[in-house]
Every structure is written in structure tokens, then in C-alpha cells.
Amino acid sequence: MSELRFDGLSVKYGGLTAVDQVSLTVPSGSVVGLVGESGSGKSTLARAAVGLAPVSEGKVLLDGVDVSRSGRGRRPIQMVFQDPYASLDPRMTIGESIAEAMPRGLFRGSARGQEVARLLELVNLDPDRSAVLPGQLSGGQRQRIALARALAGQPEVVIADEITSALDVSVQGAVLNLVRDVQTRLGLTMLFISHNLAVVRYISDYIAVMYLGRIVEIGTVDGLLADPLHPYTRELLDAAPSRRSALLAAEPPAVADSEPADPHQPPAGCRFHPRCPIGPLVHPDRTVCVTDDPALGTSDRQHHAACHFAPALAAGAIQISSQE
Ligand SMILES: Nc1ncnc2c1ncn2[C@@H]1O[C@H](COP(=O)(O)OP(=O)(O)OP(=O)(O)O)[C@@H](O)[C@H]1O
């Protein structure tokens, strides 16, 4: 069990800051669900944790140790990606693919085969099928193999990036159940990325909401969903269909009546202010939203939102848009 922490992490692609000074902790053995619209930086944050995105500032820490300095060899953070068709070599049997991901030298001879069988059983696949090629498997089965491959690396942290969104709707629930079961059994620390709030709610202990390269709200699942403090989170929730239909939805809901923000030109002050239903768009006197960049709370409270008016929203002193 290990704590994963992003500490003031920034990732830049040319002139674009895809992730902007993000600090986020995934407590040991827990699941943090990361939600936000397309382009908000979720995948980039995840990729930075495994060395696949160029970190320009800040650190990724595993139990306080900078992962970029942990050297070669075993990789304690493993990722499962969206596309189960692209993530497996079509010429390797699934057994070979899993064995290839094991730490070098840890399993030799028959122990290798036994470990492959154990991993296949862990993801509810018949160990006798280790000789089949990925082309003979369905999308859901391939995603199970991708999970087994990630687990073969004996990770302390698994990052799952939209792992159900490319799957047939009929198998999404089964893969989610499996991931939750494996995470619980192994006590894994997990960052679970999805557009789909219903999926995230089902699997996570905490939810972090990302908007234009920043975390704008974080809290426990129950706390955040019962009492969202950021207007963007409220929009996401209002736009989300019922839990069942959201679980089955191939495409995530868009935020209603809102223009996607341009990540190349983030607005000054609060980045959400040009879209915000309680900001200067509706209340021109709320100039603080244009001038001051709100910070995510730093107290010990478990629920934080980066909004100047979060305390007033929480207290019921102001309401969203037409209700105000
Ligand atoms: N390799 C890259 N080179 C240049 N820009 C990139 C690269 N990868 C991501 N970006 C840009 O960084 C921003 C964040 O993208 P990212 O994929 O992290 O967002 P996301 O929230 O995961 O979205 P999605 O859910 O659509 O994958 C976007 O504006 C994207 O175009």
C-alpha cells in the first residue's frame, strides 16, 4: 500500500499548459475518481505519473519519494489505458504478454506459468486460455488482460484511464465490478479517470473534479455528491443522466449550454468565470472572479472547492443561476 501524491505538478506542451500546478493526494489503498470534460488534463496528469508526459514543474511522489528518481527496474505505478485493442501486441499470446510485464528475474521456469495462471484467475479468465492471441478475445476480455498485465508488474498504484469507455455497453459493468473487486482484494491505491460521473461514483472513495488543467473540487464521494461546492461540479451533476443510464452511456454527458474552454487561452482570475452561473456573467459586481485566481482550500477539511463563493454556496446564502 502506498500514497500517491502530485505535488504542484505542471505539464506543458509548447504554449499550452495542460496541467497547471496540480496538488492531489490519492491516500494509500483508496480510489480517487478524476472527472472533468474532454481536454481538462486528466490523461496528461495520469501520464505524468508514469513518465509519459513532460513534467515542467512539481513532482509525483510515492510515499514521499519522487518517482522520477526511483531508478529503473520495477515500476510501482502501472497504467491501464482506454483502448484494449491497441494496448496488447497482436502477435503475442496473452500468457506471453502478461509474463513480459512481470518484474525481470522474479519468476523463473514453471513459477512464471503459475504466476500467469494466478493473474488470469484474478481477472476471472480461464488460465487454460493463456495460449490464445488477443485477436481471439472480446474487448472486455482484452481489458481484463490489460489489467492482468498491469498487475503483473506488482504495482503499488494502478491508474485506470477511461478503461470502460471503449467497451461495449453490455460488458462495462462487469469490467467495473472486476476492477473494484481486485482493488479491494489487493488493497491497491488507484486513480480512476472517467468522463462519466456515475462510473466514478460507483468505484471511488473520493472524487476530484478537473477543469482546464486544475483541480477545482475534491471531496469524499458522499460529501461531494451530496453538497457540491463548485459551480462547475454542480453543472456536471446536473448534466449527468440517471445512474443506470450513465453507466450504460457510451458517451459522457456534455455540460449543458456551455462553450468548451480554450486551454490555450485560460481566462484570468477564476478559469471558470466566463461560464459560471454565479459569476460576473450573471452578476457583474462579482469582479473578484475576474481578478483573483481562487485557491483550492488547504485546511484539513476533507472537502475543498476552488471558488470564491463556495462558502456562500455551502451556507445557502447564494444559489445557482435562475434560483438566485
Ligand atoms: N501529446 C500532446 N501534445 C500536445 N498537446 C497535448 C498532448 N496531449 C494532450 N494535449 C493537450 O493537453 C490538453 C489536455 O489533454 P488531456 O488528454 O490530458 O485531457 P483529458 O481531460 O484527458 O481529455 P480526454 O478525456 O479527451 O482525453 C488538451 O488541450 C490536449 O489537446
All cell numbers assigned to 275: 461560464
Nearest protein CA to atom 16 of ligand 1, as residue: 41
pLDDT for res 263? 79
* Ramachandran bin of 169, using left for φ above 0, alpha for ψ from -120 to 50, beta for the remaining angles: alpha
Farthest-apart Cα atoms in the chain, separation: 72
From the alpha carbon of 53, which atom of ligand 1 is closest?
1
Q: Domain segments of the chain: what residues?
A: 4-76+155-323, 91-151
ipTM exceeding the 0.85 mark: yes
Superfamily of the domain at 4-76+155-323: P-loop containing nucleotide triphosphate hydrolases (3.40.50.300)
From the alpha carbon of 14, which atom of ligand 1 is closest?
4
Q: Is the beta carbon of 241 within 6 A of some atom in ligand 1?
A: no
Tell me the per-residue pLDDT of 222-252, one tens digit each, with 9 for 90 and over.
Answer: 999 998 999 999 988 887 665 444 444 434 4
Tell me the per-residue pLDDT of 258-290, one tens digit each, with 9 for 90 and over.
Answer: 566 777 888 999 999 999 999 998 899 999 999
Q: Average pLDDT, whole number, for the chain? A: 88
**H-state helical runs in the chain:** 42-49, 94-100, 110-122, 139-152, 169-186, 197-203, 221-226, 231-239, 243-248, 288-291, 310-314
Distance 301 CA to ligand 1 centre (A): 31
Determine the average pLDDT of the residues in 74-78. Answer: 86
All cell numbers assigned to 315: 451556507
pLDDT for res 260? 65
pLDDT for res 238? 83
